[in-house]
Structure 1
């Protein structure tokens, strides 16, 4: 028999032999970072290929701008399929356990990603190649809905009260880390290979690497979630799945507000990652490898800004950090997009400022996505809130921003950012849970 007791620095599980196993927030954080980095690496490998490869490979029958818009039209399919994946995999979780759910989901995610690497192009299969790309993109999103392991929720619930802002930013580190690796890998292949070789076979390697990383991440996460200490800890914290419709009926308002709260950072997320790459690639003579290197450097600044967000949230409160950063994003939307038309220095300024603002905002958006759930709805509610937030805030961002910029100029893309900032400020106003004491946070699960 194993008993669980809560301490300041972690949770202690005692087995039948009287041995104690302390589960610290730091140990949970390692699992969270591994899982998030692998997922975001998958995400960015596909996103970069959507700009550099897919328009020519799957849509050679149209001009480059139209081909990129078509490519971006397939991009959101993963976000659309993700909530459905959450519904299905929650049932698997309830029936067969978290380990079975994770194994199926991550192999499906890796398999869908690897399958894209072996796809022939339009010149070989015709429109069937496009359909297959769409199917595998749906498979990625469906699988991602099942990759929710609850470790981020566990981290939030076991973090020391005075450092909850710090621990809230840890899951967000996976985004810039995944971007840095994906951008560096594509930069290498773009620079090292002739364009013909890159479009023929070079672009496929990052997708195969993504599959390998998913396998490693799978076993790492399974080792944690299936250990007796973590199983008891999940149970003691009521981090158990329930039918999603039950959660929606009971916590619909919380899910809605939680999905609106991070829209500013989620919109900016794509405005400084996928969209600028597409604009620079289509509208300037600059080689994509050069911009990918700029993106790597800016992502490092974003990583540092995420750390800063944790420190600020513990000092002035998460709601203040989210509100001020949303206002900064609104200001950024009014002038920054035009920098992309000012040459290399303008591009660097746009990326550096954008990632600095994004890091502070995105670093605390996890808590906003989670909102506050009663214990029985915490696990499922967090997953659904995250799914909806990404769907509404990020899925269509590259398509909308590129279309607006193409039709009306770069300044028009700022309107998308401004709408996200307005939604975040409205959600913060409505969500009284975030308006409490300086460091007071209800038990939140982090998305």
Structure 2
């Protein structure tokens, strides 16, 4: 079978080809901008909740337990969105099939924005007791369902439409939404920590990032609808058969590809939270370093993250995406071994903490920059829209959803070296998946 199978449209799959349809000319750059805006919005929401899970929720929703336990409970709520996300994909795929992509995207992003802004108005434990925790859990599940529904097919379309010699470059552009979203979230929380008293911050200051997240969602909604709802994009999605297919049909046809694809980015997704959310919890609970100052270090890390993603696009077009993902996983494995052998690097040393974050974000950028292609390129054209969404959902659930909870639990009980062991397992999973399926993201 040709290594370019993922880029081919077999005659029996191509409705547009059978009908003699002429594919409209839509610039890959236009698609990339649409995907980038959407990803930035989603990741900003994602990181606002993640940072609040460390700095806010243990104090305002779990004040009845020690800080460590409160943070672990908050991380358990954080994981709920990753559990709900594949369920959201299944539900919203059906909405897409019945009512169209524009209706699905509108409902999903309003659910995402509504859940986020509802957290901003949520009364604390001292006001309504356990009801506040149940409501927070419900809104987090709402965010997860909405993220599953926010899949618009533009990333898969970009993978198809990008020039053959610049696949890596265009694959990395949507991934820039992660460092942009994290940079905005960390800078915003750092600003409020620096300019408010802790009492004011815990009383009302923490709510503002959630208001901002709602505003960002509204902007992203109109930006994405402007692309998805146009006649040109509708025709292009139809001729490329990027339409929702029944989930069980897709699983029967491409279940093996989806499962392997979900394991390919595990090194990247595990590292994702081990340099972003988890370090904030360790700094807050076990060191005397200022959380606001450390968030500024992470803001610098987000710049390194973005730069490494750009580099990944350049390198991938030279050596191939699959090879780069494998190289990056190997480097992450070495990074995890260093964390196992020298856990004190991230202990009480502020210099060591800074090095850990910056190096980690650099490796994350090289790996994460090409994970989009690694989880979609082996899917047949007919199943790519639904399959790419579920593959991504499962990858996030397995690799990242419980990472902060597991890392904090292990490190608080057995020491920081166990964080390295956890990360090493992700690198091994990625390399194993690449060996099992050598056609993942191959050119």
Q: How many positions carry a matched residue from both structures?
A: 420
Query: Deviation string for 1:373-416 (max 9, x for gaps)?
Result: 11111100000000000000000000000011101111111111
TM-score under structure 2 length normalisation: 0.93
Q: Which residue of 1 aligns with 2:15?
A: none
User: Which residue, 435, 440, 443 being the options, matches 1:434?
Assistant: 440
Structure 2, unmatched stretches of 5+, are 1-22
User: In the alignment, which residue of structure 1 is the partner of 2:121?
Assistant: 118
Pick from 169, 174, 182: which aligns with 2:172? 169
**1:354 corresponds to:** 360
Deviation, 1:318, is 1.2
Q: Does 1:73 align with 2:73?
A: no
The correspondence for 2:213, drawn from 210, 215, 232, is 210
1:324 deviation in Å?
A: 1.1
Contact 2:80 2:140 in 1 (8 A): yes
Distance (Å, rounded) in 2 between the aligned partners of 1:23 and 1:297: 35
> Does the aligned pair in 2 maintain the 1:305–1:359 contact within 8 Å?
yes
1:14-413 alignment, distance < 5 Å:
22-336=25-339, 337-413=343-419
Separation in structure 2 between the aligned mates of residue 286 and residue 368 of structure 1, nearest angstrom: 38
Q: CA offsets per residue over residues 174-219 of structure 1, 9 Å max, x none? A: 0000000000000001111000110010000000110010011001
Question: Is this contact kept in 2: 1:280–1:340, CA < 8 A?
Answer: no
Q: Deviation digits for residues 277-310 of structure 1, max 9, x if unmatched?
A: 1101111111111000000001100100001111
**Aligned partners of 1:272 and 1:355 also within 8 Å:** yes
Partner-residue secondary structure (3-state), 1:370: coil
Question: Is the CA contact 1:234–1:240 (under 8 Å) kept in the aligned structure 2?
Answer: yes
Structure 1 Cα separation of the partners of residues 334 and 124 of structure 2: 42
Gaps of 5+ in 1: 1-19, 441-447
Q: Whole-Å Cα distance in 2 between the matches of residues 240 and 435 of structure 1?
A: 21
Q: Which residue of 1 is the match for residue 16 of structure 2?
A: none
Distance 2:61 2:51 in 1: 15
Q: Cα RMSD over matched residues? A: 1.4
Counterparts of 1:245 and 1:22, CA distance in 2:
33
What is the CA–CA distance in structure 1 between the aligned matches of 2:420 and 2:138, rounded to whole Å?
32
Is residue 272–residue 351 contact of structure 1 (8 Å, CA) maintained in 2?
yes
Contact 2:182–2:302 under 8 Å retained in 1: yes
